[in-house]
Amino acid sequence: MKMSASLAAFERPRIGTSNTVFKSGPLFISSKGLGWKSWKKRWFILTRTSLVFFKNDPSTLPQRGGEVNLTLGGIDLNNSGSVVVREDKKLLTVLFPDGRDGRAFTLKAETLEDLYEWKTALEHALAQAPSAVLVMGHNGIFRNDTGDSIEGSFHQWRDKRPVKSLVVGRPILLALEDIDGGPSFLEKALRFLEKFGTKVEGILRQSADVEEVERRVKEYEQGKTEFVPEEDAHVIGDCVKHVLRELPSSPVPASCCTALLEAYKIDRKEARVNAMRSAILETFPEPNRRLLQRILKMMHTISSHASENRMT
């Protein structure tokens, strides 16, 4: 489990050359459907395949010790979409006729100038967006032939997720953060392992009882949303594996696997590592890359205590 301590290279979002940013900046997202009582100001990034949003501008370096500015959500785009504005309220609605009932997403601009700039940018992006026939199933997931798609629409996931679990089967967009920006089940479990699992022998290798894992997930859904030091680290470790296995789409899309395999063929170690890093930065969708970085960070913490946990 030895790995480089230089994980910072994966921290900041980097857009590939094939994924032009049409516009980025602040917009307000509606409280409707999100459980918020008012409009929330978020930072949006628009490309030809997606419109995603963050708490803050992701190009701004976080302060030392500050939280990682993860993607909070987004929508997939296709060329069936259209844009409607309501000037008096500075509202911007993106409409898609696809699906049984169609989709509609409403945002609010700060000024009229911003409103029409976003309208123009969205119209340009939709004109170059993938065809609606590339959208698969009910989650708005695009076939991974562009190398720059965002996997899934968090709005549709919220409306159509199975009622049996609020932890398992979440889209990658919401793997690490809940819609309100708080840490998810997976993120809390990773923090627990980093704090209490480093000295546990065989952590991540020894399996826990399947029923105990399912019980802990159920308890979380019923309100026990914090992990305490007395909990079995092996159970929490298997909870992490369980959540990752049940993601609705692969954390490492097929095109990204191909890029990594090609980079791995390079003989010289330094060049190989640099090529693999570039492959991750340039081909991984943003949520997938951040999830990979987060898992590697946890594994690096575990491996730094290999003399105690014997995870070499």
pLDDT in tens, 217-240: 999 989 999 999 999 999 999 999
Q: 310 near 294, Cβ under 8 Å?
A: no
From the number of C-beta atoms within 10 Å of its C-beta (0-12, 13-18, 19+), residue 92 rates as buried
- Say what the pLDDT of residue 286 is: 79
pLDDT in tens, 167-206: 888 878 788 987 677 899 999 999 999 999 999 999 999 8
For residue 155, pLDDT over 60 is answered with no
**Helix axis angle, 185-196 relative to 286-303, nearest 10°?**
20
Q: 170 near 184, Cβ under 8 Å?
A: yes
Rg (CA), the chain: 20
Dist. CA 91–CA 312, nearest whole Å: 55
- Residue 177 is given by DSSP the state B
The domain spans of the chain are 8-309
- Say what the pLDDT of residue 60 is: 66
Q: 49 near 146, Cβ under 8 Å?
A: yes
**Tokens at residue 181, please?**
């920006």
**What is the CB-side half-sphere exposure of residue 249 using CA atoms within 13 A?**
27
More confident residue, 179 or 27: 27
Picking from 107-121, 154-168, 218-232, 241-255, which range would have the lowest pLDDT averaged per residue? 154-168
Q: 49 near 41, Cβ under 8 Å?
A: no
For 8-309, the fitting CATH number among 1.10.3130.10, 1.10.10.10, 3.30.230.10, 1.10.555.10 is 1.10.555.10
Buried b (16+ CB within 10 A) or exposed e, 241-262: ebbeeebbbebbbebbeebbee
- Say what the pLDDT of residue 109 is: 92
- Say what the pLDDT of residue 281 is: 84
